[in-house]
Amino acid sequence: MNTDAPHPRRTNEELYAQQVKMLRQFLQNGAISQAQYDKSYGDLTAKMRFSEPHPEDRPE
């Protein structure tokens, strides 16, 4: 018998926001460079088929 609770399904927008947040944290902590952030952010945005990122998703 499986007693694990099912994981809620996430929308593409939720997954995108989670990934952008993680990228931003990597950038802020120095784990990746600005160039790496820009490349990964652009690739993620294109892959998730978002045409324009939200302003709050852009690095500070």
Structure tokens at 43: 């690739």
Going by C-alpha positions, the residue among 30, 49, 42, 46 that lies closest to residue 58 is 42
User: What is the pLDDT, as a whole number, of residue 32?
Assistant: 97
pLDDT tens for 4-58 read 666 677 788 899 999 999 999 999 999 999 999 999 999 999 888 876 555 555 5
User: What is the pLDDT, as a whole number, of residue 57?
Assistant: 56
Rounded to whole angstroms, how far apart are CA atoms 23 and 32?
8
Q: Is the pLDDT of residue 60 over 60?
A: no
Going by C-alpha positions, the residue among 2, 44, 52 that lies closest to residue 24 is 44
Is the pTM for the entire model greater than 0.75? Answer: no
User: What is the pLDDT, as a whole number, of residue 38?
Assistant: 94
Neighbour tally for 44: CB within 10 Å? 17
21 touches 55 (CB < 8 A): no
